Amino acid sequence: MMLATPPDVRRCPQMTRHGAKLGRKKEQAIIALLRCRTVEEAAESIGVAPKTLYRWQKLPEFDREYREAMLAQFRLSLARLQQASAPAVTVLRNILAESQGATGREGPLRILHPRSNQEGHRDRRNRKAS
């Protein structure tokens, strides 16, 4: 006569523990995948084998959450670029407007090589002061 295994007991206790950690580890994996350059680097950063991370990426739920996180990160990056674009354009316009009185070529050079222009500007100021 065989004894029946209760329905709430699994054959492998490790799977029960693994299933309980998967939610937290999966979130950590998604964050690591967004931050790290390679899957191997992401796996190492959260303490799992790369093979495990590759396997998780094949899970539809993980894939969906990872794509949502990538989209959210992309949207955040776009928002930051939009916020920075207006001040950047203002600065570029000011640089070009300041250089209109000079040779006309100085403005674009100032944008492309700001350090060399700052040094040249300092030299000109020092010459004027002398």
| pLDDT tens digit sequence for 44-56 | 999 999 999 999 9
Whole-model pTM: value is 0.55
Domain that holds residue 47: 20-84
Q: How many domains does the chain have?
A: 1
Per-residue confidence (pLDDT) for residue 93, from 0 to 100: 84
Does 61 map to a domain?
yes
Does 105 map to a domain?
no
Per-residue confidence (pLDDT) for residue 94, from 0 to 100: 83
Does 113 map to a domain?
no
Does 78 map to a domain?
yes
* Residue range 76-98: mean pLDDT, rounded: 89
Does 7 map to a domain?
no
* Residue range 98-116: mean pLDDT, rounded: 64
Cα three-residue angle 112-118-124, rounded to 5 degrees: 125
CA distance linking residue 66 with residue 34, whole number of Å: 9
Confidence of residue 82 (pLDDT cuts 50, 70, 90): very high
